[in-house]
Structure 1
Amino acid sequence: MQTAVVTGASSGIGAATARRLAADGFHVVVAARRQDRLAALAEEIGGRALPLDVTDRDSVATFAAELDACDVLLNNAGGAWGSDSVEGGDPADWQRMYEVNVLGTLHVTQALLPLLRAGGGGTIVNLTSTAAFVNYEGGAGYSAAKHGQHALTETLRLELAGQPVRVIEIQPGMVHTDEFSLNRFRGDSDKAAAVYADVDRPLTAEDVAGVIAMAVAQPLHVNIDQLVLRPLAQAAQHKVHRGRLFEG
């Protein structure tokens, strides 16, 4: 049985992907800071829960030392905080987003690369965003972090050329999860709900999990470098249809 490691697995896309990979036959190690949620998820899927703060190198080292194998690594831990303009942005928000999205991916990848190589063929999946290549008002800090994570991913793929480790980047657009927009708007549920108002079927965490599982399931010689997914209602970052698209 192959082992998949999922960071940021206590909710949203991470939890959904852990469930999907377990259903596909992987032994899944779920990692995050919120241990109560992780323990329940691990019990549900027959996996293993380990504490992890991706921004803390000591935490990452302790986590890596607990693993005997890693065939698939999903760097999912990330997030957005704040929606201010560049002029009014809080540097602390920018730093937090960079530390989680970019340095968190760096720390975990560095720590687990030896295990990914040791298995004879490993897969790294980095979850970025359409914000990794399209900027928008109020999103500079998040876009900068995701651009950085994209640069890390693309460079890593070049540097691992000739080794049996593939590097996949998944770039979702509008995904409606319980926490992403709520965190971004500092708990303002009205602002968070307005992001998805009247959008007929934004992506769900399960939609993204299905795409990740599809990419992972390809033969090891098949590498999906980048894959963009959006709901049908979102033609581009600034083009969102609000109104019914589907019957029923």
Structure 2
Amino acid sequence: MMQLQQFSSTDNLNADFAARLVDILQQAIEQRGAAYLVVSGGKTPQALFNTLSNTDLAWDKVTVLLADDRWLDANQPDSNERLVKATLLQNKASNARFISLYADTASAFTGAAEVLPRISALPTFDAVILGMGEDGHTASLFPCSAQIEEGLSDGAPAVLAVEPQTAPYQRMSLSLPRLLDSRHIFLHLVGSNKLTVLNKAMAEHDVLAMPIRAFLHHPVAQVTVMYSDN
């Protein structure tokens, strides 16, 4: 199920979004003593991350991890881990705990066994922030990958190695069931081209063609789309 929330500007979107996330994380800390936040990489969330990093919160009780990452050392420019550490885990948020999806192995496929226990042991997430590509992929659940059916299956492991055919690098991605195991799920979109892709995803139900549909059309999960034209 999908709920679309449109904003007049990215500034307004980020201010509202940051406030919602802080409320969710604060409530989790008050009720359970800890909070778990899953974020995505790319350009879209960077301003949101900067806003969050300057927000008052018991960040030492917050665990942050990525929905997916490229199989790269965190010092590499294309690493999502590098981006999150440089934008979100700064200022007041510098005390948050971060769980990496990377291991020092040559291949994501050989490293998956090391990463899996880190993620499978985690409780239900409090908030998941997804992105969406032009092809309808989310996290690293790519329609072009040989691993897409496994990643979307009910019995998928918490994380799996993925090798997309239309994007560089092997990836480590949380699976559909692991991402769905969250109290709140958001899809963060900016730009009219992303609204076009969203409308296409909503119009049909083939999840292998556009994996984001597995979230948008899920019979139980509520996905809140946070959208601005610019």
- TM-score, normalisation: structure 2: 0.42
> Is the radius of gyration larger for structure 1 or structure 2?
1
- TM-score, normalisation: structure 1: 0.39
The higher-RCO structure (CA 8 Å, 6+ apart) is: 2
